[in-house]
Amino acid sequence: MKSRTASSRLRIAAAASVAMAMGTAGLTALTGTASAATDDVTVQYRTSATGVTADQAEPWLKVRNTGSSTLPLSSVKVRYYFKADSAATYRFACSWAVKGCANITGTFGTLANPTATADRYLDIGFTAGAGTLAPGADTGDMQLRFHRADWQTLNQGDDYSFGPSQTSYADWSKVTAQVSGSTVWGTAPAGNDPTDPPTDPPTDPPTGGQSLFDDFNYTSYSDPKISANGWNVRANSGGPGVPGATWAPENVTFASSGGNSIMNLRTSTAGTAESTKHTEVLTKATKFKNGTYAARVKFADAPLSGPDGDHLVQTFFTINDLKAPMADDYAEYDFEYLPNGGWGEPANILYTTSWETYNPDPWQAVNQHTESRQSYAGWHDLVLTIDNSSIKYYVDGQLFGTHDAAYLPERPMSINFNQWLIDLAGQTSTTARSYDEQVDYVLHVKDQVLTPAQVAAKVSAYRTAGTTFEDKVPSS
């Protein structure tokens, strides 16, 4: 696993340039058109990049609440449609926004039914920090842009949503808007009406599928079943985290909670490297690639006792090894919760990050991430799906982010949980304190994309059958 100390530089530098997402992508299309719905919002559009070719597209937008009640912006998604240039990948950015660029997210997706003017889209979403819109109010300016990842000139002339004559704001029906998953504004390219989530999504998991399931029904970190079931409780030294800290297997314990067995990872410190103990549990095999990954994880915002404020990272992720700097077969997919900030962030933030590669020295990285600045203390259902077109992250049944096909894995990976301190600068007290991250279960289904509802159904089926562990995933 690469050093996350190095990734602190990336988190700060990449925040303005990588694609961020809390929108929808590539889900089953609805029949019918948006005109059948009662408008709750309208979308206005203008552009300052009016040329057929340009360095970047600049869809500037305003969203207005045309309903009769206050509208949480976090329930709104706006979709801009365009025709991709050959096999180009794209990056989203926000130049300025009345609501604050930190509260606006963007992600790219591929249309299920490409047309002559659209085969891709950009979804614009809002974090909870964007607040609400009163009836009749609008978001004000959102000066958005996107560009090719290689910064080559892009062609806007064949883009469905592009309006070269729109140099001042006006209603624009060639972008669509959704409120709580229902399309309420605009007309999509033929056959591509968005839906989030799909209408009546199935809850029964697909039959078959080679799966790993573990309910973490063990007695202690030294229980021989842990190793027999393919897990390693880390004891070796090294990164990530505070240099000189210890990875303490004895701090991984097991207990019962709510009728289920849980794994507890405890990280502790008294403000020095020598007193800092990190924890990690990972699969010994690197045999997991496409499919569905899921875990129920409890994050903590505060220590069990003692002063708060440490720059803590609580995780669920998959990873393989970096064979050489900037090797293109490296892969890593992370859920990382920072309850007290870190990496330049002042407070709690949840990251999901998809890695293509990196160079440790001098630091250079290629990745895409989604972020949400709010507390995630408590239990959360985390789902990651990887197929041949995209990477999707779900939190508590809601799509959190969709990342581009450019970040798909080339080689199998391991499955990991760890908890560690980025540094000792968040809280300098020498009073002892400890933090717990808990894990209820982990599930991987090889080569099948499950919805969060299907994941819940599959876990329930294991537990109903009394199955606490199964691993039918073949070695790579």
Burial profile 342-373: b = 16 or more Cβ within 10 angstroms, e = fewer:
bbebeebbbbbbbbbbbeeeeeebbbbbbbbb
What's the CA gap between 326 and 200, in Å, rounded? 43
What's the CA gap between 50 and 165, in Å, rounded? 7
Tracing tokens 């659209």 back to the chain, one arrives at 118
pLDDT at position 88 is 77
A 10 A CB-CB count for 288 gives: 21
Q: Enumerate residue ranges in the chain where pLDDT < 70.
A: 1-39, 87, 195-205, 476
pLDDT at position 209 is 80
pLDDT at position 86 is 77
What's the CA gap between 86 and 88, in Å, rounded? 6
pLDDT at position 113 is 86
pLDDT at position 204 is 66
What's the CA gap between 228 and 472, in Å, rounded? 14
Instruction: State whether residue 4 is helix, strand or coil.
Output: helix
Asked if 385 contacts 402 with a C-beta cutoff of 8 angstroms, the reply is no
Instruction: Render 275-315 in DSSP notation, one character per residue.
Output: T-EEEEEEES---B-SEEEEEEEEE-SS-SSS-----EEEE
Question: Which alpha helices (H) appear in 123-267, and where do they start and end?
Answer: 224-228
Instruction: Identify each DSSP E strand in 190-230 by its residue range.
Output: 211-214
Q: What is the pTM of this model?
A: 0.64
The CB-side HSE value for 277 (13 A sphere, CA atoms) comes to 16
What's the CA gap between 425 and 242, in Å, rounded? 10
Comparing C-alpha atoms, which of 40, 53, 218 is closest to residue 148?
53
pLDDT at position 195 is 67
